[in-house]
Structures are given as C-alpha cells and as structure tokens.
Structure 1
Amino acid sequence: MDSLGALHAFVQAADADGFTEAGRKLGVSASAVSKAVQRLEDRLGARLFHRSTRSITLTPEGAMFLERCRRILCEFEAAETELSQTQAAPQGKLRVSFPSIGMLFMPKIAAFKRLYPQIELELDFTDRLVDVIDEGFDAVIRTGDHADSRLMTRTLGRYRRAIIGSPDYFANAEVPETPEDLARHPCLIYRFANTGKLDRWPLSRNGEPVHVELTNSVVMNTLEPQICLAESGLGIACVPDIAVARQLKAGSLISVLEPYLQAQTKISVMWPTSRHLSPRLRVFVDFVAENLLLA
C-alpha cells in the first residue's frame, strides 16, 4: 500500500506540475509528496522529474513510467468498484442468446428473474451462431463444441437425442426395432432456420453412422410443434431427450431405438473473456450452471 500511495503521489505531481498543488489535492504537505516521489525514485533507481525552484518536469523515464502508473491505478480503482458492486444487488441489462431449444429453459429463467428482479433480461432465440462480442451479447447458451479464444466457457451438461411417438401411434403402427424400420414411418422433421438444411437423425450401429432415407411427413423449424404433433399421433420425431423428459415420464410419449442413439451433445454457457465479470453476469453464470438442466 505504501508503494501504491507513492504511485498516486507521483501521478498527482505530474498532473499538477508541482508538489504543492499535488499535496493540496491529496490533503498532505508538499514536502510529503516530494519525499514520497524521492523514495519512489530511489527504489526505481531512476529520476522521474527534473526539479527547479519554480517547477518540475517529467524526465523521459518519468513520462514512460507515468502511463504505466495510470493503468495500474485504473486497474486498482476498477477492482475496488467490482468488489463494492458484489455487496449490492446485481442490476442492469443482461443480453443473452439461446438456441431454439432454449425455450425449454424458460421456467428456469423465470426463476432467475424472480430471484434477481433488478436485472433487465434481453433474450434472443436463434440457431444461428451469433458473434457474442460484435453483436453485444453478455452471454450465450450453446449446444455442441465451439472453440473461441475470446470466450470463457462453462459446461452445463449433456443430452442425447430421442426418437419418440405417442402410445396411440405405436398401437396402430409397427414399433421400429432397427434404424431401417424408420423408412416405413411418417417423420416429423426439423429444418435449421439459419441454413435451411433438414436435421439428420444421429443413428449409429457399433459406432458407425447409419443413414436412413426418412419419409418427411411434416417439416418445421421449431421444436415445440414436433413434440405436439408427435403427442397427437401424427408420426415420430427425433428431439433432445431433455425436451420430452416430462412426457416420457407421464407416458404420453414413448422412446424407441435407444441403443442406436448413443451420441451426446454438450450444452455450455459462454461469455466474453474479461477480468471484471459484472455481478449480474456472475450470478447468471452460477445460476444456469446449478439449475438449467435440473429436472
């Protein structure tokens, strides 16, 4: 702290072009400021000021050292501000991007909002790979593996895909026992809104991918209609298992071909790399890590 005080005295003296004015701003004598700067020069082994009876001017070494001192003092001030903010209720705008599957998490986001009512949430839902920094997002929830050195990542968990249909549907159609059996069933297919491509169901046998030409009964670009139409008995769909956990437990949907759907997808929260994580972002990251994938 003595060193930090000396840095502060040096910066004030440089800004005021004299020890007297610097002492007035710091609430100490001009002599105290001069001695602090002298001790700093002795420690550094370099002269920071040219002194005369009327004024002081920075030496080349002093000018170089001044800019670094400003950064040090700014960092210290920012650290103080950050620490003081942690003692207050998190508040302010928090802009978060979710994939389309993020609609499943709205009950958890509602719980977060009730817990932190002073945080203003701005939520975006898209399967497009947004640029977190350039588009001004505070955080993103992403599925799959994404490498970006500009972002910090915290893994929230993993999910698998499930091929599902209603009990009524399977009462009137043969339950598929192999991936090839799917060709005889009307399928409810997801289309990626950002690319226009149809979702390929991630079937595998003995670790090798299995591709089956599916019969596209209905094509859509959101998850909820797939689940609704499957529950209505209009065909089968392949959706994240976390999206239909409640229906599978209640028996309104049945999962088939589970041995052929072993691949897992990671889901993570990512945010811009920063030394100063705001209180609102910190509580959001901690909350989703602890709660988002809980049943």
Structure 2
Amino acid sequence: MDLNAVQMFVSVVQAGSLSAAAERMGIALPTLSRRIRELERQLRVDLLERSVRGTRLTEAGARLYEHAGRGIEALLDGEQAVVSDQARLRGRLRLSLPPSFEPWWDLLSAFQQRYPDIDLQVYTTDRRVDLIEDGIDVALRVGAIAHEAMVARLMLSYRHVLVASPGLIERLGRPARPEDLNRFPCAVWYVGGGSGAWRLGEQTIQPAAILSTNDYAHLRHRVLDGAVVAELPPFLAASAVRQGRLTVLLPDYPLPQQQINLLYPSHRHPSTIVRAYLDFCQGQWARFIDLSGL
C-alpha cells in the first residue's frame, strides 16, 4: 500500500473535498485525484463517492479512514517528539579529529557548555576515516577536499610556520635561504607514503631529518627543547613565538596554504545537532585557534 497516497486520502476526508485538500497540501488537483484513484485500484474498492458537492466516504473508505487516521496521527506525534528533542538539542554527536588538534578540544568544551544535553564521541586518528562505515557524523579534515560523497564546510585557511628555538639559532646562526637549513638538525611531520619535504616559497627541500613523526605535539616539544627546526601549525606555535621561546624562520619563503574543513555525508540530511555543531564551530573557532603574531 502506498502510504503517501493513504495520507493524501486522510487529508481529503479531513478537508471535505479533493480541491480543498489539494489547496491545503499544496499539490495539483489532478495529481491528488490520480493518486487517490491509484490507491482505489490497488485496494480494489471505491473509497470516495464523488459529486459536484464534494466527496463522501464509502463504507470501505470509512473503515480505512478509521484505521489510517489513527496511524497518521501517531506518525505526526512521533515526528513532533523528534522535532521537540532536536529543539532541545539532546542526543549524541560522533566526531573525528586529527591527533594533537588541541585548540579544537577547548572548542568542543565550549560547545558542550552551550549544549549540555549533547553527548560527544570523539574518534582521534590520522587516517582518512570512512564516515559512513565508521558511523561518524562530522569529521575535521586538514587539507584540500576532493570527495563527491561529502559536503565540506570551510572553517579557516592558514599556513604552517618554520620555527626554531633562540638557543639553536644562536648556536648555528639564522638561515637566510632554504638551502641554509642543510646545516640544521630538522624534524618533519611524516605519515606513511609521504616524503617529509618542505615546500618553502617556490623551492622544495628535503631536510635531513633526525626525527620523523605524525604527531605535531611531539615536534613542538623537540623544537622547544632546542633540538631541531620543524614546521608547526600556527596555533601550536603562536603563544611560544609571542613569549620569545620560538622564532619564525624564513618568513619570506612561506609554506603552502592549508584548509580546515568539517565534512559530513552528502546523502544524509544533517540533523539539527549536526547543524548546530557546524554553525557553532564556524562562529567560534577564532576564539580558540590562535593565529596572532605570525
């Protein structure tokens, strides 16, 4: 049985005529009339007696309306309950974040203060998760997005910075050109299949790395120790640069621009909770991601 047609039938009975129901539902009268006739053919009974004065229920139509009316009412009650829960923003939000993305931790804390009835499940990984297979509502991704099955909402763009401690610069001098980095101990962010190369302005160099890791927090720790030169996301370096604990190197040779996007499946209509999270992040990220002074 076509449940949409049954709902149309209930609307016709409640409105008193096909024309009134068509106007109330915002559909063409011929379309509504055709759908009711198709329902009657499917059930092999006449549900309505039609006349110039309107429509009347047949005996079969009255029986269908008695049961279908209660069912439609129950469905509407269920829909209202869901809408009500969404309005209170109560439920679970499943997120994916890259490792060491510390500013987002504070943002998530603020989000839960705004919406205390939302439970967060945060999955941290440096691999590209399958949002559908892994049951993720929204994933934070760094870098360009090329995925037809995903909707991407751009949060911000930024560039990594090349940094070293003042002590290391005092010992080895300040590099003036990318090739000067050959005399420095370096550490690089690396994930399987990558090269660890640095694109500095129009030049690409392959530093002689004494450390490779996929953890920017580890890189920051070693740079602050005075052991290496490394590239860091600006929000992991800005505070230490302002405090004089780190120095930005080769500012005239900028690293490539990066993007932060929030992704969700394109075929899935975003829930009120997901939309609230996207809007909150877009409106509040600047409070938590420090790009000043770089």
The answer to whether 1:199 aligns with 2:229 is: no
What is the CA distance between 1:231 and its match in structure 2?
0.7
User: CA 1:43–1:284 in structure 2 vs 1: closer, same or farther (change >3 Å)?
Assistant: closer
The answer to whether 1:256 aligns with 2:249 is: yes
Aligned-partner SS, 2:126:
coil
Name the counterpart of 1:230. Answer: 223
User: CA 1:293–1:141 in structure 2 vs 1: closer, same or farther (change >3 Å)?
Assistant: farther
User: CA 1:38–1:248 in structure 2 vs 1: closer, same or farther (change >3 Å)?
Assistant: closer
Aligned-partner SS, 2:160:
strand
For the Cα contact (< 8 Å) 2:198–2:207, is it kept in 1?
Answer: no
| Partner AA of 2:29 in structure 1 | R
Alpha-carbon separation, structure 2, partners of 1:128 and 1:187:
24
User: CA 1:260–1:278 in structure 2 vs 1: closer, same or farther (change >3 Å)?
Assistant: same
What is the CA distance between 1:226 and its match in structure 2?
0.6
For the Cα contact (< 8 Å) 1:159–1:242, is it kept in 2?
Answer: no
Q: 2:272 aligns with which of 262, 279, 283?
A: 279
| Partner AA of 2:233 in structure 1 | P
User: CA 1:225–1:51 in structure 2 vs 1: closer, same or farther (change >3 Å)?
Assistant: closer
Could you report, residue by residue, the CA deviation over 1:230-256 in whole angstroms, capped at 9, with x for unpaired residues?
A: 011001101112221111111110001
What is the CA distance between 1:263 and its match in structure 2?
2.3
Alpha-carbon separation, structure 2, partners of 1:163 and 1:34:
71
What is the CA distance between 1:276 and its match in structure 2?
4.2
Name the counterpart of 1:51. Answer: 46
For the Cα contact (< 8 Å) 2:161–2:255, is it kept in 1?
Answer: no
Alpha-carbon separation, structure 2, partners of 1:247 and 1:168:
14
Aligned-partner SS, 2:227:
coil
For the Cα contact (< 8 Å) 2:156–2:259, is it kept in 1?
Answer: yes
For the Cα contact (< 8 Å) 2:196–2:206, is it kept in 1?
Answer: no
For the Cα contact (< 8 Å) 1:176–1:256, is it kept in 2?
Answer: yes
| Percentage of pairs with the same residue | 24
| Partner AA of 1:243 in structure 2 | L
Name the counterpart of 1:240. Answer: 233
What is the CA distance between 1:139 and its match in structure 2?
0.2
Name the counterpart of 1:118. Answer: 117
For the Cα contact (< 8 Å) 1:183–1:214, is it kept in 2?
Answer: yes
Alpha-carbon separation, structure 1, partners of 2:77 and 2:270:
15
For the Cα contact (< 8 Å) 2:197–2:207, is it kept in 1?
Answer: no
Consecutive unaligned residues of structure 2, counting only runs of 5 or more, are 23-27, 48-57, 62-70
Consecutive unaligned residues of structure 1, counting only runs of 5 or more, are 1-5, 14-31, 57-69
What is the CA distance between 1:147 and its match in structure 2?
2.4
For the Cα contact (< 8 Å) 1:166–1:252, is it kept in 2?
Answer: yes
Length-normalised TM-score, structure 1: 0.73
Name the counterpart of 1:87. Answer: 87
Length-normalised TM-score, structure 2: 0.73
Name the counterpart of 1:218. Answer: 211
Q: CA RMSD in A?
A: 3.4
| Partner AA of 1:251 in structure 2 | G
Alpha-carbon separation, structure 2, partners of 1:191 and 1:165:
18
Name the counterpart of 1:183. Answer: 182
Alpha-carbon separation, structure 1, partners of 2:174 and 2:146:
40
